[in-house]
């Protein structure tokens, strides 16, 4: 049963939908009931998921409704899992399947999965006949607290993160928070990193909870996790509503990402999780803040204490990056980051909890945080 509904409103420009309705469900995920699978419906729907999600016991009943990947006007495609499949080829595979099924721009794409599936499904919807409808069922903690909301879509390209994409939000997002219980430790920990980022940005109380209740959180206490998820939804919604196309304060949501995306690239996309990279990036951005005299030592110590509580990397250079001239290689990748507007690297820097700035910094300042 649905127990709460939230909504994100968007500016008056055509982006496929005027708002995203976010509906929360308790208990074991039941997608057959949520989408009324097997009943006659007026439009076609393409459900997009990956092999990892398809293997979950709670998906068995849903998948059983499809014979030859079709049930009435409902279609199913199962893609490969993880960052290596966040490619233009995967996006075009979805588009091709929809063309083959005779979809129109009035029909619906539904992404069931983590951030990769949500991003590529929405990107496919945004370019299919110049815009079809899209909805999500986020199945990872990372997707629930961050990736499924706000309309950023896209894929990696040429070993660089999210180089191709669009702003195209889902009209509806179905949150079955019990999916979190089925995640691997690695994927669960990855999602927590995005929640950690959100707490630093806008909720000192949630940051304290992540520090003082770490054992309950790591044990996946359902009540605490649902509160964290819902708070992250509300916080990100407020940023997105004020700055949909990331011209101003929405950029703060990239805390840890300039460093983190570079780490993912240099480690090899998919070698470490996005959350692991972001958590490490938050640590580096905090060191940058301390070096610039923006934050107090006590704040830096609190951030690093929480990083250590969740086994996130606090080294200046993680062991996943091999070879020489590492600092220069980081600079090369960071200069290609899509958030940069000029010749300098733009970094989101935490001065304190709920006190964030985004600034262009000198290369020498970046190098100082990598030593």
- What is the full DSSP assignment across 245-307? TSSSGGGGGGTTHHHHHHHHHHH-TTSS-HHHHHHHHHHHHHHHHHHTT-S-HHHHHHHHHHH
Adjacent-strand bridge partners of 176: 25
- H runs (alpha helix) in the chain: 31-35, 51-54, 60-64, 88-100, 115-127, 141-142, 185-202, 204-212, 214-218, 222-242, 257-267, 274-291, 297-309, 326-335, 363-368
Cα 268 from Cα 247, distance rounded (Å):
29
At 2 the pLDDT is: 60
Confidence at 14, pLDDT banded by 50, 70, 90: low
Query: Which are the contacts of 158, defined by CB distance < 8 A and separation ≥ 6?
Result: none
pLDDT at 1 over 70: no
The residue with tokens 């790591």 is 218
Q: What is the pLDDT of residues 278-335, one digit of tens each?
A: 999 999 999 999 999 999 999 999 999 999 999 999 999 999 998 889 999 999 999 9
* pLDDT score recorded for residue 40: 78
Structure tokens at 290: 């301390």
Nearest to 79 by CA among 91, 67, 71, 68: 91
Provide the H-helix boundaries in 9-139. Answer: 31-35, 51-54, 60-64, 88-100, 115-127
Q: Is pLDDT at 16 greater than 90 in this prediction?
A: no
Burial of 342 (0-12, 13-18, 19+ CB in 10 A): exposed
The pTM assigned to this predicted structure is 0.92
Q: Can you tell me the distance from the alpha carbon of 206 to that of 190, in angstroms, rounded to the nearest whole number?
A: 17
How many whole angstroms separate alpha carbon 339 and alpha carbon 334?
10
Judged by DSSP in three states, 220 sits in coil
Q: Angle at which helices 257-267 and 326-335 pack, to 10 degrees? A: 120
Cα gap 354→371, rounded to integer Å: 27
Q: What is the pLDDT of residues 159-184, one digit of tens each?
A: 898 999 999 999 999 999 999 999 99
Residue in the block written with tokens 């590529």: 120
Q: Are 139 and 53 in contact (CB under 8 A)?
A: yes
Strand, coil or helix: what is 360? strand
Select the more confidently predicted residue: 305 or 43: 305
Average pLDDT over residues 58-82: 94
Instruction: Write the CB contacts of 269 (distance below 8 Å, at least 6 apart in sequence).
Output: 83, 84, 86, 156, 159, 161
Per-residue confidence (pLDDT) for residue 271, from 0 to 100: 94
Greater pLDDT, 9 or 308: 308
CB 122 within 8 A of CB 195: no
**Closest C-alpha among 183, 52, 165, 51 to residue 119:** 165
The whole-chain average pLDDT of the chain stands at 94
State the virtual CA torsion across 310, 315, 317, 322 in degrees, nearest 10: -70
* Alpha-carbon distance values, 67 to 62, 72, 98 (Å): 11, 10, 17
* pLDDT tens digits for range 78-121: 999 999 999 999 999 999 999 999 999 999 999 999 999 999 99
- Nearest-CA neighbor of 266 among 115, 116, 156, 159? 159
pLDDT at 13: 62
C-alpha to C-alpha distance for 371 and 366, rounded to whole angstroms: 9
């Amino acid at each position: 049963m649905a127990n709460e509904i939230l909504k994100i409103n968007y500016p008056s420009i055509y982006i496929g939908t005027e708002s995203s309705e976010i509906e929360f469900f308790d208990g074991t995920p039941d997608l057959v009931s949520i989408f009324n699978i097997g009943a006659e419906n007026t439009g076609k729907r393409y459900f997009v998921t990956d092999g990892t999600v398809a293997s979950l016991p709670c998906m068995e009943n849903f998948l059983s409704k499809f014979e030859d990947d079709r049930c009435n006007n409902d279609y199913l495609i199962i893609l490969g899992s993880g960052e290596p499949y966040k490619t233009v080829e995967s996006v075009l595979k979805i588009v091709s399947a929809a063309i083959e099924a005779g979809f129109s721009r009035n029909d619906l794409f539904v992404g069931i999965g983590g951030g990769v599936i949500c991003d590529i499904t929405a990107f496919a919807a945004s370019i299919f006949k110049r815009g079809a409808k899209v909805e999500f069922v986020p199945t990872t903690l990372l997707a629930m607290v961050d990736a499924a909301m706000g309309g950023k879509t896209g894929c990696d390209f040429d070993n660089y993160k999210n180089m191709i994409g669009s702003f195209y939000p889902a009209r509806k997002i179905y949150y079955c928070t019990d999916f979190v219980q089925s995640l691997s430790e690695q994927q669960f920990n990855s999602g927590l990193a995005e929640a950690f980022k959100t707490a630093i940005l806008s909720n000192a109380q949630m940051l304290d909870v992540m520090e003082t209740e770490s054992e309950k959180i790591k044990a996946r206490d359902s009540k605490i996790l649902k509160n964290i998820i819902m708070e992250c939804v509300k916080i990100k919604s407020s940023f997105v509503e004020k700055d949909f196309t990331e011209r101003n304060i929405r950029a703060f949501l990239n805390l840890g990402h300039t460093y983190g995306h570079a780490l993912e690239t240099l480690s090899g996309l998919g070698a470490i999780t996005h959350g692991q990279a972001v958590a490490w990036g938050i640590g580096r951005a905090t060191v940058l803040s301390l070096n610039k005299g923006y934050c107090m030592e006590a704040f830096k110590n609190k951030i690093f204490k929480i990083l250590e509580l969740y086994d996130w990397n606090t080294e200046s250079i993680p062991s996943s990056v091999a070879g020489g001239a590492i600092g220069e290689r980081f600079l090369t990748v960071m200069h290609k980051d899509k958030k940069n507007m000029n010749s300098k690297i733009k970094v989101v820097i935490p001065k304190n909890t709920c006190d964030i700035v985004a600034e262009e910094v000198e290369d020498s300042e970046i190098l100082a945080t990598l030593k």
